[in-house]
A and B are shown apart, each in its own frame.
Chain A
Amino acid sequence: MSERTLTGDAAARARETADFVRELARDVTPVERLARLRGGVLRVLAPWGVLALGALALKGVSATFADPARWASGFGAVLAGLSLVGVGGVVAALATAVPGREATARAASALVALGLLVSVGLGGFLLHGDPATASPASVGSDLRCLVLAFAIALLPMAGALLYVARAAPAHPAVALATVGAGCVALGALTAQIGCTDPAFRHVLVSHALAPAIGAAVLFAPLRLAFRRLRAG
């Protein structure tokens, strides 16, 4: 193909793009701006705060956390890690969905990774040798706390999902997994403050690992809901 033909092709394609711009401009209609990222995060965290306060008012604070000395133990590490995963996960999920907020998304994702390291790694390490965790584990208690964590996660999850679906996520799968992990972390955190079962397996599985379980279990339903919201 000669250089002249190539130049001619390029010119034709450029004219086509110019036509396309005119078509898009003709198609433009007023749009409602997506809420600010900060506002979106607050709209997710505020309902969780209300739910958490309500749950704690009903269940009260567990004996573990009533003693300030226990906050510096593995229990405290799990709690701190879950806070990082919860807040970091919500910010990361929402920021991932907004073009131009990649730096915020990366920073928040780093918080999620750090939170998992603190809750599962450090928490697990400290709890392993802690005599307070020696009580026998019960499957019923494990399930109760997981169900409570998921139940508390539902409302903030709906808010996060609505925001992500309205935005323009480049990687919807990542955003949805982070929504699941972050919101379940918030639920697990609330459940842990009122939890009366100090068994090692229970704290590790039903609290520290709850965000990972949430991301895995909730991914398919979140993806379905995301697709429906995008289609509507």
Chain B
Amino acid sequence: MAAAQDGDAKAYEGLLQELLPEIRSLVRRRLPDEAAVEDVVQNTLLAIHRSRHTYRPERPFGPWLRAVTRNAFVDHVRARGRRSEREVSLEAVPEPAGEPAPAYEGSGLSPELERALAALPAAQREAVELIQLRGLSVAEAAVRAGVSIAALKVRAHRGYRALRASLSGGGDV
């Protein structure tokens, strides 16, 4: 992990591959729904990626990994709860007339955020819109975008990073 924190992609890939069985086993212990396990595993990998700076090499790695996995699982449960609250029957949804407007138009976003969204590459913008603005699950968004879940997550992750950089006046986060 220390090498990954220094930007060593090969060491990082090796570490994540090595961690996969343990993460899967941790997730399976908490999640009876086998179909959702891989979703949570991918969310955990993304959480490790985002919070890798919080790991201190002088501390044991196991508790850090278990905490990140637990947090990703809790996020998954919260997101599932939010989605089920938002779900409406298909009959209640009117048929769209013509090309749908971008999700951010008239959504109450600040003009800066709308501009930053509009400036994103199309694939990243679509991923951010589908997940954050239209409230789809990652799996639903992947189907809608016609890409794999992994690809959609990476697009969304890059999109968030670009948005943060753009809104903070440039530079990577």
Chain A residues packing against B (C-beta within 8 Å): 6, 9-10, 13-14, 16-34, 36, 98-102, 166-168, 170, 231-232
Contacts and interface: CB of A to CB of B under 8 A. Distances in A.
Interface in B50-80: 50-56, 58-60, 63-68, 70-71, 74
A183 to B, nearest CB: 22
Interface in B111-166: 148-151, 153-154, 157-158, 164
Given A17-B45, A19-B151, A24-B45, 18 more contacts: A10-B38, A16-B42, A19-B148, A20-B150, A22-B13, A26-B9, A27-B158, A33-B53, A34-B56, A36-B58, A99-B54, A99-B55, A99-B64, A99-B71, A100-B64, A102-B63, A170-B74, A232-B167
Contact of B42 (A17, A33, A34, A100): A17
Nearest to A230: B164
A168 B51 contact: yes
B157 A27 contact: yes
14 contacts: A10-B34, A16-B150, A18-B17, A19-B150, A20-B154, A21-B45, A22-B13, A23-B151, A26-B9, A34-B54, A100-B59, A100-B67, A168-B50, A231-B167
B84 interface: no
A104 to B, nearest CB: 11
B82 interface: no
A32 B63 CA distance: 21
A99 B7 contact: no
Nearest to A20: B150
B45 A28 contact: no
A23 B154 contact: yes
B13 A231 contact: no
Contacts, number: 119
B4 interface: yes
The size class of the interface chain B forms with chain A is: 35 or more
Question: Which of A23, A29, A166 has the most chain B CB atoms inside 10 A of its CB?
Answer: A23
Contact of B53 (A6, A14, A34): A34
B85 interface: no
Q: What 3 pairs across the A-B complex have the smallest Cβ distances?
A: A20-B150, A25-B13, A100-B64
Given A17-B20, A99-B71, A231-B168, A29 B148 contact: no
A24 B7 CA distance: 11
Question: Which of A13, A14, A100, A168 has the most chain B CB atoms inside 10 A of its CB?
Answer: A100
B91 to A, nearest CB: 27
Nearest to B51: A168
Interface string B5-23: 1111110110011001000
